[in-house]
Copies of this chain bind each other. A is one copy, B any other.
Protein backbone atom coordinates (compact mmCIF):
# COMPACT_ATOMS: atom_id res chain seq x y z
CA UNK A 1 0.00 0.00 0.00
CA UNK A 2 1.35 3.40 -0.95
CA UNK A 3 1.99 5.71 1.93
CA UNK A 4 1.08 9.36 1.80
CA UNK A 5 2.38 11.89 4.27
CA UNK A 6 -0.02 14.30 5.85
CA UNK A 7 0.47 17.66 7.48
CA UNK A 8 -2.32 18.55 9.88
CA UNK A 9 -2.76 22.20 10.73
CA UNK A 10 -4.88 22.81 13.80
CA UNK A 11 -5.16 20.72 16.95
CA UNK A 12 -8.50 21.70 18.41
CA UNK A 13 -11.93 20.16 18.03
CA UNK A 14 -11.59 19.34 14.34
CA UNK A 15 -7.83 18.84 14.46
CA UNK A 16 -8.22 15.93 16.80
CA UNK A 17 -11.06 14.46 14.77
CA UNK A 18 -8.88 14.45 11.67
CA UNK A 19 -5.91 13.05 13.59
CA UNK A 20 -7.97 10.08 14.72
CA UNK A 21 -9.40 9.64 11.23
CA UNK A 22 -5.92 9.61 9.72
CA UNK A 23 -4.90 6.84 12.11
CA UNK A 24 -7.78 4.53 11.35
CA UNK A 25 -9.07 5.28 7.86
CA UNK A 26 -6.83 2.80 6.08
CA UNK A 27 -7.81 0.02 8.47
CA UNK A 28 -11.53 0.74 8.24
CA UNK A 29 -11.64 1.16 4.48
CA UNK A 30 -9.82 -0.66 1.74
CA UNK A 31 -8.00 2.47 0.67
CA UNK A 32 -5.26 2.42 -1.95
CA UNK A 33 -3.28 4.92 0.11
CA UNK A 34 -2.26 4.73 3.72
CA UNK A 35 -1.87 8.16 5.35
CA UNK A 36 1.10 8.72 7.60
CA UNK A 37 0.70 11.27 10.37
CA UNK A 38 3.82 13.22 9.52
CA UNK A 39 3.61 16.74 10.93
CA UNK A 40 1.18 18.49 13.21
CA UNK A 41 1.05 22.25 13.53
CA UNK A 42 -0.25 24.17 16.54
CA UNK A 43 0.04 27.80 17.60
CA UNK A 44 2.88 27.05 19.99
CA UNK A 45 5.71 24.61 19.58
CA UNK A 46 5.09 23.20 23.01
CA UNK A 47 1.44 22.66 22.19
CA UNK A 48 2.34 21.04 18.89
CA UNK A 49 4.75 18.66 20.56
CA UNK A 50 2.16 17.71 23.15
CA UNK A 51 -0.39 17.03 20.42
CA UNK A 52 2.14 15.11 18.30
CA UNK A 53 2.61 12.83 21.26
CA UNK A 54 -1.10 12.59 22.01
CA UNK A 55 -2.22 12.02 18.43
CA UNK A 56 0.79 10.08 17.25
CA UNK A 57 2.46 12.40 14.71
CA UNK A 58 6.10 12.12 13.77
CA UNK A 59 6.92 15.81 13.89
CA UNK A 60 5.60 19.02 15.41
CA UNK A 61 5.78 22.67 14.42
CA UNK A 62 4.23 26.03 15.20
CA UNK A 63 4.72 27.36 11.68
CA UNK A 64 2.24 26.29 9.04
CA UNK A 65 4.48 27.68 6.31
CA UNK A 66 7.05 24.98 6.96
CA UNK A 67 4.31 22.39 6.60
CA UNK A 68 3.00 23.55 3.27
CA UNK A 69 6.57 23.98 1.99
CA UNK A 70 7.81 20.61 3.24
CA UNK A 71 8.68 18.32 0.30
CA UNK A 72 8.06 15.32 2.54
CA UNK A 73 4.40 16.29 2.92
CA UNK A 74 1.96 15.16 0.24
CA UNK A 75 -1.26 16.61 1.51
CA UNK A 76 -2.47 19.17 4.01
CA UNK A 77 -5.50 19.03 6.24
CA UNK A 78 -6.58 22.49 7.42
CA UNK A 79 -8.45 22.50 10.73
CA UNK A 80 -7.18 25.80 12.05
CA UNK A 81 -9.28 28.93 12.74
CA UNK A 82 -11.34 30.11 9.82
CA UNK A 83 -9.41 33.34 9.34
CA UNK A 84 -6.26 31.36 8.53
CA UNK A 85 -7.78 29.04 5.93
CA UNK A 86 -7.17 31.13 2.85
CA UNK A 87 -3.51 31.82 3.26
CA UNK A 88 -2.70 28.26 4.17
CA UNK A 89 -4.73 26.73 1.37
CA UNK A 90 -3.36 28.98 -1.33
CA UNK A 91 0.20 28.45 -0.16
CA UNK A 92 -0.38 24.71 -0.06
CA UNK A 93 -1.65 24.63 -3.60
CA UNK A 94 1.31 26.71 -4.70
CA UNK A 95 3.55 24.09 -3.12
CA UNK A 96 1.77 21.27 -4.91
CA UNK A 97 -0.11 19.80 -1.98
CA UNK A 98 -3.56 18.30 -2.05
CA UNK A 99 -5.74 20.24 0.40
CA UNK A 100 -8.61 19.32 2.64
CA UNK A 101 -10.04 22.42 4.32
CA UNK A 102 -12.68 22.55 7.04
CA UNK A 103 -15.85 24.50 6.36
CA UNK A 104 -16.42 27.35 5.93
CA UNK A 105 -13.60 27.94 3.50
CA UNK A 106 -13.50 31.60 4.47
CA UNK A 107 -15.61 34.33 6.02
CA UNK A 108 -16.66 35.87 2.73
CA UNK A 109 -17.37 34.72 -0.78
CA UNK A 110 -14.57 36.76 -2.25
CA UNK A 111 -11.98 34.83 -0.27
CA UNK A 112 -13.66 31.54 -1.07
CA UNK A 113 -13.47 32.44 -4.71
CA UNK A 114 -9.74 33.09 -4.48
CA UNK A 115 -9.24 29.76 -2.75
CA UNK A 116 -11.24 27.97 -5.38
CA UNK A 117 -9.29 29.69 -8.13
CA UNK A 118 -6.01 28.61 -6.56
CA UNK A 119 -7.28 25.07 -6.20
CA UNK A 120 -8.50 24.80 -9.76
CA UNK A 121 -5.45 26.54 -11.20
CA UNK A 122 -3.25 24.02 -9.42
CA UNK A 123 -5.23 21.05 -10.66
CA UNK A 124 -4.66 19.49 -7.26
CA UNK A 125 -7.21 17.56 -5.21
CA UNK A 126 -9.24 19.86 -3.02
CA UNK A 127 -12.07 19.19 -0.68
CA UNK A 128 -14.23 21.08 1.83
CA UNK A 129 -15.10 19.46 5.11
CA UNK A 130 -18.83 19.04 5.58
CA UNK A 131 -18.87 15.97 7.73
CA UNK A 132 -22.52 15.59 8.73
CA UNK A 133 -23.70 14.90 5.20
CA UNK A 134 -21.45 11.82 5.19
CA UNK A 135 -23.47 9.70 7.59
CA UNK A 136 -24.83 6.54 5.98
CA UNK A 137 -28.32 7.89 6.62
CA UNK A 138 -27.76 11.19 4.81
CA UNK A 139 -25.94 9.50 1.98
CA UNK A 140 -28.88 7.15 1.62
CA UNK A 141 -31.29 10.10 1.72
CA UNK A 142 -29.38 11.61 -1.16
CA UNK A 143 -29.55 8.34 -3.09
CA UNK A 144 -33.29 8.08 -2.53
CA UNK A 145 -33.87 11.60 -3.81
CA UNK A 146 -31.59 11.13 -6.82
CA UNK A 147 -33.26 7.89 -7.83
CA UNK A 148 -36.67 9.53 -7.79
CA UNK A 149 -37.90 7.24 -5.04
CA UNK A 150 -39.85 10.06 -3.41
CA UNK A 151 -40.79 11.69 -6.70
CA UNK A 152 -40.59 15.36 -7.49
CA UNK A 153 -39.51 17.35 -4.42
CA UNK A 154 -41.59 20.38 -3.55
CA UNK A 155 -40.54 21.28 -0.03
CA UNK A 156 -37.53 20.89 2.18
CA UNK A 157 -37.21 22.02 5.74
CA UNK A 158 -33.82 21.88 7.34
CA UNK A 159 -32.10 23.16 10.42
CA UNK A 160 -28.83 23.21 12.21
CA UNK A 161 -29.63 24.04 15.77
CA UNK A 162 -27.63 23.73 18.93
CA UNK A 163 -27.94 25.40 22.31
CA UNK A 164 -24.40 26.10 23.45
CA UNK A 165 -25.20 29.79 23.82
CA UNK A 166 -28.83 29.57 24.89
CA UNK A 167 -28.05 30.65 28.42
CA UNK A 168 -27.70 34.47 28.41
CA UNK A 169 -25.25 34.14 31.29
CA UNK A 170 -22.76 32.16 29.23
CA UNK A 171 -19.82 34.54 29.05
CA UNK A 172 -18.66 36.48 26.05
CA UNK A 173 -15.95 34.67 24.05
CA UNK A 174 -14.54 34.56 20.56
CA UNK A 175 -17.65 33.00 19.08
CA UNK A 176 -19.69 36.03 20.12
CA UNK A 177 -17.29 38.58 18.68
CA UNK A 178 -16.30 40.02 15.33
CA UNK A 179 -13.78 37.33 14.59
CA UNK A 180 -16.74 34.99 14.04
CA UNK A 181 -19.71 35.24 11.74
CA UNK A 182 -22.01 33.88 14.44
CA UNK A 183 -24.29 31.00 13.73
CA UNK A 184 -24.45 32.05 10.08
CA UNK A 185 -20.72 31.43 9.86
CA UNK A 186 -20.46 28.45 12.13
CA UNK A 187 -23.59 26.35 11.67
CA UNK A 188 -25.31 27.63 8.54
CA UNK A 189 -22.72 26.20 6.13
CA UNK A 190 -23.54 22.65 7.18
CA UNK A 191 -27.24 22.95 6.59
CA UNK A 192 -26.99 25.04 3.43
CA UNK A 193 -24.67 22.37 2.10
CA UNK A 194 -27.23 19.73 3.01
CA UNK A 195 -30.00 21.65 1.28
CA UNK A 196 -27.93 22.05 -1.89
CA UNK A 197 -26.97 18.38 -1.83
CA UNK A 198 -30.48 17.12 -1.24
CA UNK A 199 -32.65 19.56 -3.16
CA UNK A 200 -30.34 21.19 -5.69
CA UNK A 201 -29.29 24.80 -6.36
CA UNK A 202 -31.02 27.65 -4.57
CA UNK A 203 -32.08 30.58 -6.71
CA UNK A 204 -33.23 33.11 -4.13
CA UNK A 205 -33.72 33.61 -0.43
CA UNK A 206 -35.59 35.76 2.07
CA UNK A 207 -33.80 35.81 5.42
CA UNK A 208 -34.18 37.09 8.93
CA UNK A 209 -31.15 37.12 11.22
CA UNK A 210 -31.05 38.07 14.87
CA UNK A 211 -28.87 38.50 17.89
CA UNK A 212 -31.10 37.22 20.69
CA UNK A 213 -28.84 38.03 23.64
CA UNK A 214 -27.24 41.34 22.80
CA UNK A 215 -24.71 41.30 25.60
CA UNK A 216 -23.00 38.69 27.72
CA UNK A 217 -20.89 38.77 30.85
CA UNK A 218 -17.27 39.66 30.15
CA UNK A 219 -14.22 39.90 32.34
CA UNK A 220 -14.98 43.55 33.10
CA UNK A 221 -18.75 43.66 32.90
CA UNK A 222 -21.20 43.14 30.08
CA UNK A 223 -19.81 42.89 26.57
CA UNK A 224 -21.71 43.37 23.34
CA UNK A 225 -22.43 40.34 21.19
CA UNK A 226 -21.54 41.41 17.68
CA UNK A 227 -22.83 38.54 15.64
CA UNK A 228 -26.00 36.51 15.24
CA UNK A 229 -27.56 33.92 17.55
CA UNK A 230 -30.30 32.67 15.27
CA UNK A 231 -31.32 33.03 11.66
CA UNK A 232 -33.75 31.58 9.21
CA UNK A 233 -34.37 31.83 5.53
CA UNK A 234 -37.02 30.86 3.07
CA UNK A 235 -35.60 29.59 -0.23
CA UNK A 236 -36.75 28.95 -3.72
CA UNK A 237 -34.80 26.21 -5.43
CA UNK A 238 -34.07 26.14 -9.15
CA UNK A 239 -36.36 23.14 -9.52
CA UNK A 240 -39.25 25.17 -8.09
CA UNK A 241 -39.23 23.64 -4.64
CA UNK A 242 -39.69 25.82 -1.59
CA UNK A 243 -37.50 25.50 1.45
CA UNK A 244 -36.85 26.79 4.92
CA UNK A 245 -33.54 26.74 6.75
CA UNK A 246 -33.28 27.49 10.44
CA UNK A 247 -29.98 28.05 12.18
CA UNK A 248 -29.53 28.65 15.87
CA UNK A 249 -27.02 28.43 18.67
CA UNK A 250 -29.69 29.32 21.23
CA UNK A 251 -32.17 26.53 20.49
CA UNK A 252 -32.51 25.41 24.08
CA UNK A 253 -32.46 21.65 24.34
CA UNK A 254 -31.09 21.02 20.87
CA UNK A 255 -27.65 19.47 20.97
CA UNK A 256 -27.06 18.34 17.40
CA UNK A 257 -30.15 19.55 15.63
CA UNK A 258 -28.94 18.93 12.11
CA UNK A 259 -32.24 17.80 10.73
CA UNK A 260 -34.30 17.88 7.58
CA UNK A 261 -37.60 16.89 6.08
CA UNK A 262 -37.99 16.47 2.33
CA UNK A 263 -41.43 16.25 0.78
CA UNK A 264 -41.89 14.74 -2.65
CA UNK A 265 -45.01 13.70 -4.48
CA UNK A 266 -44.25 9.98 -4.05
CA UNK A 267 -42.78 9.99 -0.60
CA UNK A 268 -40.99 11.89 2.10
CA UNK A 269 -37.83 11.68 4.14
CA UNK A 270 -37.13 12.82 7.69
CA UNK A 271 -33.80 12.85 9.45
CA UNK A 272 -32.38 14.18 12.68
CA UNK A 273 -28.69 13.91 13.46
CA UNK A 274 -29.52 13.44 17.13
CA UNK A 275 -30.51 9.93 16.06
CA UNK A 276 -28.05 9.73 13.20
CA UNK A 277 -28.42 6.01 12.59
CA UNK A 278 -32.03 6.24 11.50
CA UNK A 279 -33.62 7.57 8.37
CA UNK A 280 -37.38 7.96 8.24
CA UNK A 281 -38.98 7.19 4.91
CA UNK A 282 -42.61 7.45 3.89
CA UNK A 283 -43.68 5.95 0.60
CA UNK A 284 -47.07 6.74 -0.89
CA UNK A 285 -47.46 3.20 -2.18
CA UNK A 286 -48.98 -0.09 -1.07
CA UNK A 287 -52.17 -0.44 0.95
CA UNK A 288 -53.11 2.83 2.58
CA UNK A 289 -53.72 1.06 5.89
CA UNK A 290 -50.08 0.02 6.01
CA UNK A 291 -48.50 3.36 5.17
CA UNK A 292 -46.42 5.22 7.66
CA UNK A 293 -43.01 6.72 8.14
CA UNK A 294 -40.68 3.78 8.52
CA UNK A 295 -37.65 4.09 10.75
CA UNK A 296 -34.84 2.59 8.73
CA UNK A 297 -31.79 1.72 10.78
CA UNK A 298 -28.67 2.08 8.73
CA UNK A 299 -26.72 -1.07 8.07
CA UNK A 300 -24.37 -2.82 5.67
CA UNK A 301 -26.72 -2.19 2.73
CA UNK A 302 -26.40 1.57 3.15
CA UNK A 303 -23.55 3.71 1.82
CA UNK A 304 -20.26 3.44 3.69
CA UNK A 305 -21.68 1.55 6.68
CA UNK A 306 -20.28 -1.94 6.09
CA UNK A 307 -16.60 -1.13 6.68
CA UNK A 308 -17.54 -0.02 10.19
CA UNK A 309 -19.67 -3.02 11.12
CA UNK A 310 -21.30 -6.05 9.58
CA UNK A 311 -24.40 -5.80 11.73
CA UNK A 312 -27.23 -3.40 10.88
CA UNK A 313 -28.36 -1.01 13.58
CA UNK A 314 -25.06 -1.24 15.42
CA UNK A 315 -24.44 2.36 14.56
CA UNK A 316 -21.82 4.79 13.43
CA UNK A 317 -20.91 8.01 15.23
CA UNK A 318 -19.42 11.44 14.81
CA UNK A 319 -15.84 10.25 14.42
CA UNK A 320 -16.86 7.85 11.69
CA UNK A 321 -18.10 10.74 9.54
CA UNK A 322 -14.63 12.18 9.59
CA UNK A 323 -13.15 8.83 8.64
CA UNK A 324 -15.49 8.69 5.65
CA UNK A 325 -14.39 12.18 4.63
CA UNK A 326 -10.77 11.17 4.88
CA UNK A 327 -11.43 8.08 2.74
CA UNK A 328 -12.89 10.39 0.09
CA UNK A 329 -9.95 12.73 0.28
CA UNK A 330 -7.57 9.79 -0.18
CA UNK A 331 -9.65 8.64 -3.11
CA UNK A 332 -9.44 12.08 -4.70
CA UNK A 333 -5.68 11.99 -4.31
CA UNK A 334 -5.35 8.43 -5.55
CA UNK A 335 -7.56 8.83 -8.59
CA UNK A 336 -6.94 12.48 -9.35
CA UNK A 337 -10.69 12.84 -9.71
CA UNK A 338 -12.50 15.54 -7.75
CA UNK A 339 -14.66 14.20 -4.96
CA UNK A 340 -17.67 16.15 -3.74
CA UNK A 341 -17.59 18.59 -2.00
CA UNK A 342 -14.74 20.43 -3.60
CA UNK A 343 -13.72 24.03 -2.93
CA UNK A 344 -16.21 25.00 -5.63
CA UNK A 345 -18.94 23.39 -3.57
CA UNK A 346 -17.67 25.25 -0.53
CA UNK A 347 -18.03 28.50 -2.45
CA UNK A 348 -21.60 27.65 -3.48
CA UNK A 349 -22.53 27.39 0.17
CA UNK A 350 -20.98 30.75 0.92
CA UNK A 351 -22.92 32.40 -1.89
CA UNK A 352 -26.19 31.39 -0.24
CA UNK A 353 -24.95 32.77 3.06
CA UNK A 354 -24.15 36.09 1.44
CA UNK A 355 -27.55 36.26 -0.23
CA UNK A 356 -29.12 35.67 3.18
CA UNK A 357 -27.11 38.51 4.70
CA UNK A 358 -28.22 40.78 1.90
CA UNK A 359 -31.88 39.80 2.17
CA UNK A 360 -31.85 40.26 5.89
CA UNK A 361 -30.65 43.83 5.46
CA UNK A 362 -33.01 44.82 2.66
CA UNK A 363 -36.14 42.97 3.77
CA UNK A 364 -36.61 41.61 0.27
CA UNK A 365 -35.74 38.43 -1.55
CA UNK A 366 -32.14 38.18 -2.72
CA UNK A 367 -30.89 36.24 -5.72
CA UNK A 368 -28.07 33.80 -5.03
Where the two chains meet, the residues of A that have a C-beta atom closer than 8 Å to any C-beta of B are 1, 13, 16-17, 19-20, 23-24, 26-28, 30, 34, 53-56, 140, 150, 154-155, 157, 162-164, 166-168, 206, 208, 210, 212-213, 229-230, 232, 234, 236, 242, 244, 246, 248, 250-257, 263-268, 273-278, 280-284, 288-297, 299, 301-302, 308-320, 363-365
Q: Would you call B252 and A282 a contact (CB within 8 A)?
A: yes
Main secondary structure of the interface of A (DSSP, over half): mixed
Q: Would you call A274 and B255 a contact (CB within 8 A)?
A: no
Q: Would you call B318 and A318 a contact (CB within 8 A)?
A: no
Contact for A363 among B53, B54, B250, B364, CB less than 8 A: B364
Q: Would you call A252 and B234 a contact (CB within 8 A)?
A: no
Q: Would you call A242 and B252 a contact (CB within 8 A)?
A: no
| Complex Cα gap A295–B13 (Å) | 25
Q: Would you call A212 and B154 a contact (CB within 8 A)?
A: yes
* Chain B residues, Cβ within 8 Å of A210: 154, 242
Q: Would you call B284 and A290 a contact (CB within 8 A)?
A: no
The 16 listed contacts between A and B (C-beta, < 8 Å) are A24-B24, A163-B284, A206-B206, A232-B234, A232-B244, A252-B264, A252-B284, A253-B267, A253-B292, A255-B299, A273-B315, A275-B278, A283-B290, A289-B301, A315-B315, A317-B319
Shortest A313–chain B CB gap in Å is 3
